[in-house]
Amino acid sequence: MKSLRLILSKPRYFAPAWVFASLNIWFGTWAIYIPTVKERLEIDKASLGIAIFFLSLGVFTIFPLATRIINYLGVGRATWYGVVSSSFFAFFPLIAPNYLSLVIALFFFGASNGFTDISMNTLVTEIEKEDRQHFMSAAHGFFSLGGVLAGMGSFLILLIGNPAWHMLGVIVLVFGINLYFRNHYVQIKAAPVEKEGFSLKLFRPLLILGIVSFMVMGGEGAVVDWSGLYLQEIANAPEFLIGSGFLAFSVTMTLGRFMGDAISARIGSVKIVALGSAIAVLGYLAVLSTAIYAVIAGFGLIGLGFSVIIPELFRIGGKVKGVDSSQGIAFIAGAGYSGFLTAPPVLGYLAENFSLKTSFWVLLVCAALVLLATYTLHRKN
């Protein structure tokens, strides 16, 4: 919890951590109104899925450009411009008058969020290198906390009664806090890196990190989308417990990220990735037992194990020799988002043609492969 105290006591660390929270508050507020937007525009599920795909397309479109923009502007200014653009584009999906405008609005919302994501992770990496402090994991904890705050905002739906006004209030409040703290990071620039020409030796560590990111975020996406159905169909859980798996996953994910920096500082980034993947393996074994409360505990263990992995991958990727920190982070983030988006439908195909339990066996194998990959990372460290 040292990193959490650091964030809460010093504006230099709170400022970037609040950007993490802000990103998920904007996105989470949009997410709770997805059914309302669907109903207002009178679109079916397939059309809604295509619209949301364009949000993801916006994220992927900006990734190849993000590194150049960040290096040109400086990571501090780039993060601030990301905050401004995300604040601006968060409003439009909720006021889109027709389907086409919704698709366009979601594309730009996704692009601005993707740029902010790369910028803020690069910013934390640079501050960690300058100050020799660990707070990347806790910053990701603030991202999870942002989702919790957005979810709590759903209680305001009946009170406000208007999605656009709700989002506007959120934007003004969240942006105002960012505006107040921006001077604590806006002048920060990435330390110059002695670049090397492309070589397989240079690229191999990033490739391993990208594969690990793909599998871990794929597992996260699978738990988010399939945990409730697994409890219902495989564990035969009563209706009031169907959402408990995702709740356990979310709570342990948040808590783990607040504790991760202290553990990382003590045992190192590669060892904490190994520890997290080992805990996730135990979680999957518990889930595959199909006993209701073991399944719920298993989802909690998966959340705890995964909580520390992605922040550590960003931390490692931002320090790969001969590679700009923004380049390393963009590559890892791109691979991770690919896993998050593609794993659920692939696992859905397996569930449809075999069984949902088969899908979770595949996820167990992926977690075991992550554990195996840490041996290679340890040799490359």
Could you read off the pLDDT tens digit of each residue along the chain, which spans 381 residues?
Answer: 678 889 999 999 999 999 999 998 998 888 878 878 888 999 887 788 788 788 888 888 898 888 889 989 999 999 999 999 999 999 999 999 999 999 999 999 999 999 999 999 999 989 988 898 889 889 989 988 888 888 777 777 777 878 899 999 999 999 999 999 999 999 998 766 555 544 556 667 778 888 899 999 888 878 877 888 889 889 998 888 888 888 888 889 889 998 888 888 888 888 999 999 999 999 999 999 999 999 999 999 999 999 999 888 888 887 777 677 778 888 888 888 788 777 767 877 888 788 889 989 999 999 999 999 887 766 655
Alpha helices in the chain (DSSP H): 2-9, 11-32, 34-41, 45-73, 75-89, 99-131, 136-152, 157-160, 163-181, 200-233, 244-267, 269-288, 292-307, 309-317, 325-353, 356-380
Sign of the CA dihedral running 193, 199, 204, 207: positive
Q: Which two tokens stand for residue 229?
A: 């159905």
CA distances for 305 relative to 71, 196, 259, 370, 377, angstroms: 33, 34, 12, 11, 18
pTM above 0.95, yes or no: no
DSSP one-letter string for 19-30: HHHHHHHHHHHH
CA 155-21-26 angle, 5° bins: 55
CA distances for 201 relative to 23, 210, 294, 322, 330, angstroms: 35, 15, 43, 11, 19
pLDDT attached to residue 150: 82
Question: Within its chain, how far is the Cα of 302 from the centroid?
Answer: 15
Domains annotated on the chain, with CATH: 2-184 (1.20.1250.20), 200-380 (1.20.1250.20)
pLDDT attached to residue 98: 95
Non-local CB neighbours of 352 within 8 Å, separated by 6+ positions: none
Q: Cα separation of 377 and 372, whole Å?
A: 9
Residue 375's CB: how many other CB atoms inside 10 A? 10
Q: Cα separation of 326 and 84, whole Å?
A: 19
Q: Cα separation of 33 and 95, whole Å?
A: 11
Non-local CB neighbours of 340 within 8 Å, separated by 6+ positions: 217, 218, 220, 221
pLDDT attached to residue 198: 44
Q: Are 117 and 110 in contact (CB under 8 A)?
A: no
